[in-house]
Structure formats: structure tokens, C-alpha cells
Amino acid sequence: MHHEPTGIRGTRLTDDSAALNRVAQNASTLGGEIVDVAGFLDQLEAQTGDQMRALRQLREGAGQVVQMNASSMETLASMSEKISSTLEKLQHANGLMLDAGEQTGAMIGWINSIDERSHAVQGTLDAVQTSNNQIADIAQQVNMLAINAKIEAVRAGDTGKGFAVVADAINELSHRTGKAAEDISDNITALIDWISTLQQESGTMNARAGQMQDISGRSRDALDTALADMQASHQRTGMISHDAAQADAALKDFLPNIAALDASVKDGVTGVLEAHSRVSKLVDTSEKMVQDSVSLGGNHGDALFIEAVQDRAKQVSDMFEKALQDKRISLADLFDSNYRTVVNTNPTQVTTRFTRLTDMVLPAIQEPVLDLDRRVAFCAAVDRNGYLPTHNRKFSHPQSDDPVWNTANCRNRRIFNDRVGLKAGRNTAPFLLQVYRRDMGGGSFVLMKDVSAPIIVQGRHWGGMRLAYTF
């Protein structure tokens, strides 16, 4: 009779089972740690990408600043020359304005002297007019005397004939004197009128010259101010040119440092990408280790979920095949991958020709799994492209105007083509156990397990049933 060996060999099966369980547990823990590292590398890759873009923008911006600064220096040099030229012209104009002011003052003095002399002439003319009037009076009196003498000569007869001739001569002289006095009076009147007009015009010219002098004074003040401002601008332009030259030198020294930093960050990014690639391979390897250990009989708490997802995948397959038999849907519609966008959705939701069917048949299969264990997060079927037509009811609310709320609560009819979603939809092994980090928002992440099983319909791979749960 054959007897099982005792001792160490006698406990081999028990020890192998426990060791296999430990391998499965360690593989799962290792997978979680690797996924956590991969998630950190994802963030680091995003950050280094942002740094690369920021450095590129900084480098391009610094180059543009150097070019702009050089252009500004040329503009400043040209501006400085123009300001210097304008400053010289203003100084020359200021000298002309001073000369014009002096000439205006001299003209006002000359007009005033003319006015004073015209008044003196008018006084002289008044005196001449008075004397002329006296001459006219004398001429009139002589005329009267001549008339009387002529009358007396007539009375004297022949004796008064000679006297009459003299009287006639005196009378003729008085007439001429009166006529000359009258002409002189008219000329004096005309001269007085002309002098009065000259006085009025000189007064007007004097007023205008005064206004001109006032305007000239204000213009000179404005010109002085402009001259002072231009001198200050010239000084400031010189200071700016000096600062721009220093900035140009500093920027030219700064560019090589940026280039060196850019090269260093590129090396770092290359290293991160390589590390991320290798860690991604480690994730795949750790998942295979977990899957192989579980397939060999190792059990560390995943068997319950694996059996549940395989059972639900089989139910979905059977349900789809029955729908085909009942002609509720055609095979072409069931495998439709023409995703049509649902309007006014954010995040974007899509439908296919099988979405209506999954909405009717999947909830009865998926919803009960949520009560399987408190660690279960969701259970939903996806097609080969990660399209999730019908989610659990708690994730299938109508969308609101808040995209953030929609992202968390309206996850049905969405395409999840990330690494985990695509692998779950395209896996054809009896089951696939994956570990991933779930983003909880605010920089917080939770390690999750995702177990999936393929959904096969009439020998064709439709997609996979996903069941996600926490560690």
C-alpha cells in the first residue's frame, strides 16, 4: 500500500498552496506599487512636458525680446537724433521769438511817438487855425473899410477919384486875403481830419501791437516750456538708451543659459519617458504575474470578483445571442462602431445602433453586482474600443450645465480609451486583472483593481465586462 510521505514532503500541497497565495498577494501588492510609481511618472511626465513648453516659450520669448530690444535701440537712436534736431530748432525759434518780441516793443514805441507827435501837430494846427481866423476877420474889416472909403470917394467927386482907386485895390486885396484864409482854413481842417484818422489808426495799431506782444509773450512762455520738456525728453532718451544697451547685453548672456537649461530638461524628459516606458512594461508584467498566480490557484481575495465578472460576461453573451435570435437586433448593428455624438453634451457622449438594446438588457445584469461587496465601485460592459454604452444607474444621470459634475455623474455613453479601458475591451483571455489609479480630484488618487472577462457573441469578440473595486 502506498502511503503519502510525512514531514516536510507530507505538507507540500498545503505549503505550495500557501506559497502560491503569497505569490499572488505579493504580485498584487507589487502591481499596486508599480502602478502607483507609473502614476507618479505620468504626473512627472506631464509636469516635465509643461516645463518643456514653458522653457520653449521662454526661449522664444527671450529671443523675441532681444530682437525687440535691438529694434527699440534703433528706434531710440533715431528718436534721439530727431529730438536733438528738434531741440536745436526750438532753440533757434526761441531766439527768433525773442527778436520778434523786441521788434514788437520797438514798433509799439514808434506808434506811441507818432501818436504823441500827431497830438503836437494838432495843437500847432489849432493855433494856425486861430491865427487864420484872425486874418480872415482882419480881411473882412479891411473890406468894410474899403467899401466905406469908396462911398466917401464917390461923395467927394473928382477930388476922391484917386482915393477910389486905392479903395478898389484895398477891396481886391481884402477879397484875396479872405479867399486865402478860407483855403487855408479848409486845408487845416482836412489836415486835422487826417491827423485824427491817423490818431485813431495808430490807436488801433497800438492795441493790436499790444495784443501781438501779449501773444508773443505767451508763445514765448509756451516755447520755453516745450524747450524744457524737450531737453528733459532728450535726457530721458539718453538714459533709456543706456538701460536698453545694458538689458541687451544681459539678455544675450541669458539666452545661452536658457538653451543649457532647455537641453538639461530635455535630457530629463527623455529619462522620464524611458523610465515611464519601462515601468509600463513592469505594469504589464506584474499583471501577468497576478493573472498567472490566480490561474494556478492562488487566491488572495480576487476569486470572488473574477467569478462574478466571468459569470456576468457569460450572461451578456447569452442575452446578446438571444436578442439576435429574436431579431431584436442584427449582427451588424450589434457590432456597430459608428459613434454618433449626442449634441450639447460636455463631456461628449455618443450612441451607436446597439445603445438602445444595452440600455434595456444590461442594467438587470450589472446592477446586482454592486451589492456583491462594499469595495465594488462599478460593473459595466464596454466594446472593443472602450465605449461604455450603459453604465450603472448611479453614474447615468442626465447632464447638467456643470461639466465637472457631469464628468463624475454622467459616465454612460462615454468612450474610455485609456490603457485599462482598452485592454479590458480587447482582452480575449478568460479574465484580465489590472491595477490602476483612480483620480479622485484635488491631486488625490485611490488604487483600484479592474477585473474583466471577454463577451463573445456567435464566436466574435464584442468587448468585455468590467468590474472595478478598491484594494
Q: Which domains does the chain have, with CATH numbers?
A: 23-299 (1.10.287.950), 301-471 (3.30.450.20)
| pLDDT value of residue 44 | 67
| More confident call, 154 vs 251 | 154
Neighbours of 99 (CB within 10 A): 10
Grid cell of 123 as nine digits: 495843437
Grid cell of 12 as nine digits: 507540500
Angle of CA points 100, 105, 111, to nearest 5°? 125
| pLDDT value of residue 10 | 35
The share of the chain scoring above pLDDT 70, in percent, equals 72
Grid cell of 406 as nine digits: 457631469
Pair 133, 144: CB distance under 8 Å: no
pLDDT band at residue 383 under the 50/70/90 scheme = very high
Q: What pTM did the predictor assign?
A: 0.53
| pLDDT value of residue 1 | 41
| pLDDT value of residue 6 | 33
Look at residue 433 and tell me whether its pLDDT is greater than 80.
yes
The answer, yes or no, to whether the previous bond of 347 is cis (omega within 30 of 0) is yes
- As a whole number, mean pLDDT of residues 355-360 equals 98
With residue 101 as reference, give the H or E element that holds it. helix 12-156
In whole angstroms, what is the distance from residue 246 CA to residue 161 CA? 123
Quote the DSSP letter at residue 81: H
Among 151-155, 221-225, 244-248, 358-362, name the most confident range: 358-362
Torsion, CA 215, CA 221, CA 226, CA 232, rounded to 10:
180
| pLDDT value of residue 308 | 96
Beta strand pairing call for 444-457 and 350-351: unpaired
Of 89-98, 357-366, 376-385, the one with minimum mean pLDDT is 89-98
Which residues does residue 441 pair with via DSSP β-bridges, in sequence order?
444
472595478: which residue's cell?
A: 468
| pLDDT value of residue 155 | 78
481830419: which residue's cell?
A: 193
- Strand, helix or coil at 447? strand
Identify the CA nearest to 47 among candidates 443, 433, 459.
443
Look at residue 65 and tell me whether its pLDDT is greater than 70.
yes
- Strand, helix or coil at 9? helix
| More confident call, 104 vs 420 | 420
- Strand, helix or coil at 440? strand
With residue 215 as reference, give the H or E element that holds it. helix 161-295
| More confident call, 225 vs 157 | 225
pLDDT band at residue 254 under the 50/70/90 scheme = low
451 CB-near residues (< 8 Å, 6+ apart): 302, 305, 306, 309, 431, 432, 433, 434, 466, 467, 468, 469
| pLDDT value of residue 102 | 75
Residue type, 350: V
Strand order of the β-sheet with 460-470 is: 376-383, 460-470, 444-457, 432-441
Identify the CA nearest to 311 among candidates 191, 417, 467, 125.
467
Identify the CA nearest to 284 among candidates 448, 463, 461, 433.
433
| More confident call, 203 vs 466 | 466
pLDDT band at residue 274 under the 50/70/90 scheme = low
The answer, yes or no, to whether the previous bond of 430 is cis (omega within 30 of 0) is no
Look at residue 22 and tell me whether its pLDDT is greater than 80.
no
- As a whole number, mean pLDDT of residues 240-263 equals 69
CA 320 to chain centroid: 56
Half-sphere exposure of 146 (CA within 13 A, CB side): 17
Beta strand pairing call for 444-457 and 460-470: antiparallel
Residue type, 31: G
Look at residue 397 and tell me whether its pLDDT is greater than 50.
yes
Which residues does residue 444 pair with via DSSP β-bridges, in sequence order?
441
Identify the CA nearest to 409 among candidates 420, 418, 398, 424.
398
Which residues does residue 378 pair with via DSSP β-bridges, in sequence order?
468
| pLDDT value of residue 5 | 37
Pair 390, 381: CB distance under 8 Å: yes
